Amino acid sequence: MNLKDTTLYKILIAALVIVSSFALFSGVMEPDGALYASMAKNIIIYKDWLNLYGRGADWLDKPHLTFWIAAASFKLFGISAFAYKLPNFLFGLLGVWYLYKLAKDIYDEKTGLISALIFLSALHIGTSTFDVRAEIYITTFTLASIYHYYKAQHYSFWHVVAGSFFAACAILIKGIFVLIPVFAGFIIYWLFTKQYKQLWQPKWWIAIVLIFVFITPELYSLYTQFDLHPEKVVFNRTGVSGLKFFFWDSQFGRFFNNGPIKGKGDISFFLHTTLWAFLPWSVLLYAAVVNLFKKKNRDNLAPESIIIWASAAVTFLIFSLSKFQLPHYILIVFPQFAIITALYLQKLEIKGLKGFLIVQNVIYALVIILLSALAYYFGFNNYVIAIIMIAIIFIVAFIIFKGFKVETIIGRSVFLFIGLMAYLFVFFYPALLKYQSGSEAGTWLKKNYPTAKPAVLNYIDAFSFDFYAPGEVKYLRNYEDLNQYKNTKDLVLYVSEVELPKLKASYNVQVLNSFEYFHISKLTPKFLNKNSRNRVLEHFYLVKVN
């Protein structure tokens, strides 16, 4: 193409934003997305913004801001999947803007645009636009805080206030550990450049104070819901302090694996997670990181680059040493990864470009083979159209972007992402969600029996049913609970096939409909193959109690 490179990058960014917006018009996935959506729904139903309820009980895990944002969107647009996903999408765009600003101010506009492109077209960013959790929010707030603190070193004090506000927002999404990626880069930068006086500047201590001022709504909410009520049963015990959990158990407790929520750490986990999550850029990222170990490759970079490297390195190390690890945690350092990759990409010479174009061609071939096979074996509607669409997008990429140039790698990578996301958002995810029985049952109930009083019997993971069903969903944890509610007018139970025979034997019930179920966040070959799928499906039922 003969376009000016910066103009080309802006067009590609616009194309990425458009294809990412397709995710807004589809369903909410279990487990986390549907759980968070149902909790935000409860805020609206109960008209209670201080107390969080999930699975029919007091809920203590993540802070409130994720749910406050979703509930505010529900207040404006009504309770729907679109309203749940919209804020995540918009805050993601805000994060892209802050990434562009940070890279542009430290380096130049071209680096800012390429960084934004890389971030927007990373695989896990795309899937997180569909499967909405908390990570896009935390990534944006952390990055915004870094940007404003970077500006606060030499400019207006209001950047200190803005930086502290966004740091507090990040804490209100995930917890106090987010201060590590925010401040680690600055502290190491000041030490390496011998700016020791920065450590004692009053504005940074004021910044810390402001952060704690801005998080007081969270502290108040936790105190009133838990610390004032030690009789509440949380994590199967009483006397649980919400404040202690916030400051210690949810963060250090997970890191040391001695809190109420435990995991199994693997020091190599995020190395191989990044390999797929940062596709199609992960190979370039690893090469860029290795390149930074050579002093001659660092000499010509702006000294402020240390802020970027150190923030990413320290955070990555902390995550790798933690005993509680989940793939989506790594998103918080994707902006730093994008800048590191953008800088390296611009320095590639012909030999390096040829090598990475070969790698890119291999990725293209693997993607089209895997997606075509998946479309055929899964058997979703119009799978032939899905394969043709992917092929056309990929062919167009090779026609438009030719030659051993940086623009070729960028353009083809963006088209790879566009093809993959179009495939996932338009064909694969909608086909998958048909087997998320909770959302199917909730949607059916709202349409066919809007006056129903929905309840879940002996099953606590009905997150999508909780969100999609009309009104408040009761959780009946045993048959004693059911006996208390059985005379409720229009009571409709959501039950598993294991419970159905016992329910029929003991109560006068009417089966309204049945729904196929599979744990779609843990896909298996037998499920993906249309010929063996029926053997692994479970069934859930909507049952009216008469």
For residue range 90-124, list pLDDT tens digits in order.
Answer: 999 999 999 999 999 999 999 999 999 999 999 99
pLDDT on residue 262: 53
Indicate the fold that domain 437-545 takes in CATH: D-Maltodextrin-Binding Protein; domain 2 (3.40.190)
Domain ranges of the chain: 31-260+267-346, 350-424, 437-545
What is the Cα 7 distance to its own chain's centre?
30
Under 8 Å CB-to-CB from 365, ≥6 apart: which residues? none
Alpha-carbon distance 426 to 386, whole Å?
9
Q: Residue 397 is inside which H or E element, if any?
A: helix 383-400
Encode pLDDT of 224-255 as tens digits. Answer: 998 889 888 888 788 888 888 888 877 765 65
Task: Please give the structure tokens belonging to residue 526.
Answer: 């037998």
CA 336/CA 97 separation, integer angstroms: 14
Do residues 274 and 125 touch, judged by C-beta distance below 8 A? no
Helix H, strand E, coil C: the string for 208-249 is: HHHHHHHCHHHHHHHHHHHHCCCCCCECCECCCCHHHHHHHH
pLDDT tens for the chain, residues 1 to 546: 456 778 999 999 999 999 999 999 999 999 899 999 999 999 999 999 999 998 888 888 889 999 999 999 999 999 999 999 999 999 999 999 999 999 999 999 999 999 999 999 999 999 999 999 989 999 999 999 999 999 998 878 999 999 999 999 999 998 888 899 999 999 999 998 888 888 888 999 999 999 999 999 999 999 999 888 988 888 878 888 888 888 887 776 565 555 555 556 567 787 888 888 998 999 999 999 988 887 776 777 888 889 999 998 888 888 887 766 667 678 899 999 999 999 999 988 888 888 889 988 899 999 889 999 998 899 887 888 988 888 899 899 899 998 888 999 999 999 999 999 999 999 999 999 999 999 999 999 999 999 999 999 988 888 999 999 999 999 998 888 898 888 888 899 999 999 999 898 888 889 999 999 999 988 999 999 999 999 999 999 999 988
